[in-house]
Amino acid sequence: MAQKGLRTGVETAIVGAMLHDLFSAFADLRRPQVLLALVVCIVTGLVVLFTIPGLAWLIFGSIQTFEIAWIDSVISALAVGGSAVLAFLLFPVVMTAIVGLAAEPVLDPIEADYEAYLPPQQPVPIVTALISSLKLILIAGALSLFAMLFFWTGISVFVAWVINSYLLSREFVTMVAMRRVPEKAVDEWRRRNREAVMFRGGLIAVLFAIPVLNLIAPIIAAAMVSHWLSRTDIYELATTKPPQITDSGPDLGTPTA
């Protein structure tokens, strides 16, 4: 009984911290740099949202598999409908992968508030970022195809939510932390804190499921995770440490010529 009460208390604390970070993320939208990234994110989201079904219509609409016109029409409609569902399932991850390639305009002004307490940034090579984004999209594609098997059942929405919760929690923690911590260390930290990570992934997946809000969900999620990680021990895993804090401010070391 005591153990159950302790677990409930931990989960309540996680939810409370999540909501605090979420409200802080919404407040960050007023920052000029974040506001500009917000506009880019909305435009990108609209392009992604309509491109996949549009391409499917062009491809399948021109394919004739039977000589009977109405059968071709039904097949094309089903193909486009399936593509639209797949686009809905893939939208959160594709958006996250794209935004992750240019996260600096969002994260830099937010992390500037506690920059003195964080280790220095380690530039992530563009090739590494591209490979990471491509890997995420491929995994998401495979899992989304699996989720479509449950499309005609009552648990399809739940399956899609669980899949996106896992993928989004994984990607946003990696996106934010890898700016200062090696990827392998981030992976190990994420596994040790999988419960807290999945809780936040679940909330992020909900943001992506709400129409209109899903267009700016990547920005909100990145800001929310940034606020959260700044309070954790993940940055202790960095290969370079933050400057020592003294009464007169951070010790930036002895200037060199």
Average pLDDT per block of 10 residues along the chain, 257 residues long? 61 84 92 84 81 65 61 68 68 79 82 82 79 80 75 75 90 91 93 93 92 88 94 88 52 39
Domain count, the chain: 1
Tell me the residue range of the domain where 132 lies: 13-45+91-237
Which alpha helices (DSSP H) does 153-234 contain, by range? 156-177, 183-192, 194-209, 213-229
- Residue 75 is assigned to a structural domain of this protein: no
Task: Give me the pLDDT at residue 177, please.
Answer: 93
Residue 65 inside a domain? The answer is: no
Report yes or no on 60 lying in a domain.
Answer: no
| 126-148 helix and 156-177 helix, angle to the nearest 10 degrees | 170
Identify whether 161 is part of a domain: yes
**Cα 228 to Cα 221: distance, rounded to the nearest angstrom:** 11
Distance CA 24, CA 219 (A): 12
8 A C-beta contact, residue 94 and residue 140: yes
In a domain, 52, yes or no: no
Instruction: Tell me how far apart the 2 most distant CA atoms of the chain are, in Å.
Output: 82
Whether 216 maps to a domain, the answer reads yes
Residue 140 lies in a domain: yes
In angstroms, the Cα distances linking 200 to 77, 90, 222, 243 are: 37, 19, 11, 30
DSSP 27-49: HHTTSHHHHHHHHHHHHHHHHHH
Q: How far is CA 247 from CA 216, 231, 250, 251, in A?
A: 40, 21, 8, 10
Say if 85 falls within a structural domain: no
Bridge-partner residues for 249, per DSSP?
Answer: 246
Residue 76 has a pLDDT of 67
